[in-house]
Amino acid sequence: MKIYISFIIIMCTIQMSYSQFTNGNLTENPRLSDGYTGHEEALINDFIKLEFDTENSKISFNFISEDTEGTIGGLDYKISFSPDNPDNAYFRGSALVKTLDTDNFLRDGHLMWEKFFYKSKYPKIEFASSQVVHFGNNNYKVIGDLTIKGVTKEVIINFMLDTQKLLGKTTIYTSDFGVNIHDKRDQNKLNIVFDFPLLR
């Protein structure tokens, strides 16, 4: 008889605990109360620290005034980033000027000249973050110093995180870095996209 009563008490306790869980009382678990909703975002919350597929990462760009698209390679970067701790994140990396590719052999050769990117003296383009800010809905602003042709300027890269990649976008003017494709600043506008696939 005592064993039977004890069994009933245990079953009632389990049922009550299950009811509390299924009635939406999830706020005591900090991993489930950080403002994200939906299945995909829940998966993002499971990331402890992101790891990236460096082999398939790429940077592409569009030189607006001439509607010229291209890529740059030779990427060597280190990203330390956890979605639930962006304050301690950092982004550092470089790309090789010689890999600039606009699908035009003559144009790419001209871009290596001293007047433009001056490859022989400044073989790398470099970036180092100073701050990472979370703006909600898996959006992050990465603020840092971009160095091209020996000139360093602060830029802001807007990143969006999903379960497949970290995708970033920014806009610069090449003339701000001493790369004067055209005389007028507005004609040197360059949109840049950073595509960093995730490893799980």
Residue 72 CB neighbours (<10 A): 19
b/e per residue 35-60 (b: at least 16 CB within 10 A): ebeeeebeebbebeebebeeeebebe
Let me know how long the chain is. Answer: 200
Residue 164 CB neighbours (<10 A): 10
Query: Does residue 190 contact residue 172 with C-beta atoms inside 8 Å?
Result: yes
Q: Each residue's pLDDT tens digit in the chain (200 positions)?
A: 544 444 444 444 444 443 433 344 433 333 333 333 333 444 454 455 789 999 999 999 999 999 999 999 999 999 999 888 899 999 999 999 999 999 999 999 999 999 999 999 999 999 999 999 999 889 999 999 999 999 999 999 999 999 999 999 999 999 999 999 999 999 999 999 999 999 96
Beta-bridge mates of residue 153 = 146
pLDDT of residue 50: 87
pLDDT of residue 136: 86
Both structure tokens of 57: 């990462």
Question: Which residues, other chains included, contact 124 with Cβ-Cβ below 8 Å and sequence gap of 6+?
Answer: 94, 95, 96, 97
Residue 13 CB neighbours (<10 A): 10
User: pTM of the entire structure?
Assistant: 0.76
Residue 146 CB neighbours (<10 A): 19
Q: What is the DSSP letter of 75?
A: -
pLDDT of residue 120: 98
For residue 34, the one-letter residue type is D
